[in-house]
Amino acid sequence: MSIKVDRNYGNWTVTGPPQPYIYVSQLHGNTVHRKAWKVPCQCKCGRISMVNYQNLRRGLSTQCVACAKTRTGQIIAQRHIKAAKRLTAFGETKTLREWADDPRCTCVSVTTLYNRGAKFDSHEKIISWDGIGSQRKLTDAQIKEIYSRNGTGEAGRSLAKEFGISESLVSRIRNGTRHADITGAGDRAL
């Protein structure tokens, strides 16, 4: 078991070792007794509770019921649900919390990672996207190609899509406000 005393899970602090408990459930019409684990925890507000081990480990329980009913409690709970979301990239499956600590990750905030998920369809890109720097991923050859193809009448929109850049960057390359050193756009005006 990876649950350790004094460790925090959201607003919970673990106060003791996990304890087994037996519960009754139905399986194909038969009554069966199953074993699970509960962990003694104390919420930030002081309330004490036995929390289901799996719910604690997976970030599904982060605080007592009373705190969960408050606005702050809801924000905390949402953050932990995001942090516990699993993502497979580079052949590994980890939670967003773990990815945020991964050296390949370009951000440290779980919320940022989570929000990127809505923007990108590549999981690797969610983790390693370097923001503004993505525009610099164009090679010199690609910049020249965009410049010349846009110059011979190819639509900025389709070029933007093909190279994964914004339409405004295509026009800035075209008019020489970006990468003029590579395209020689400045010379053209002379």
Residues of this chain that interact with Zn ion (CB under 5 A) are: 43, 45, 47, 64, 67
Q: Can you state the percent helix, strand and coil of the chain, rounding each to 5?
A: 45, 20, 30
Considering beta carbons, is residue 69 or 136 the nearer one to Zn ion? 69
Looking at the Cβ atoms of 12 and 37, the one nearer to Zn ion is 12
Which CB atom, from 42 or from 135, has the smaller least distance to Zn ion?
Answer: 42
Minimum distance from CB of 46 to Zn ion (Å)?
Answer: 7
Q: Which residues contact 146 (CB under 8 A, 6 or more apart)?
A: 138, 159, 163, 170, 173, 174
Please report how close the Cβ of residue 89 comes to Zn ion at its closest, in angstroms.
35
- Under a CB-based contact definition with an 8 Å cutoff, are residues 147 and 173 in contact? yes
**What is the Cα Rg of the chain in Å?**
26
Nearest distance in Å: CB 63, Zn ion: 5
Which amino acid, 22? Answer: I
Which residues, 6 or more positions from 189, have their beta carbon under 8 angstroms from its beta carbon? 176
Residue among 76 and 185 whose Cβ is closer to Zn ion: 76
**Cβ proximity of 59 and 9 under 8 Å:** yes
Least distance in angstroms from the C-beta of 65 to Zn ion:
8
Residue closer to Zn ion (CB basis): 42 or 175 = 42
The minimum distance between CB 42 and Zn ion, in angstroms, equals: 9
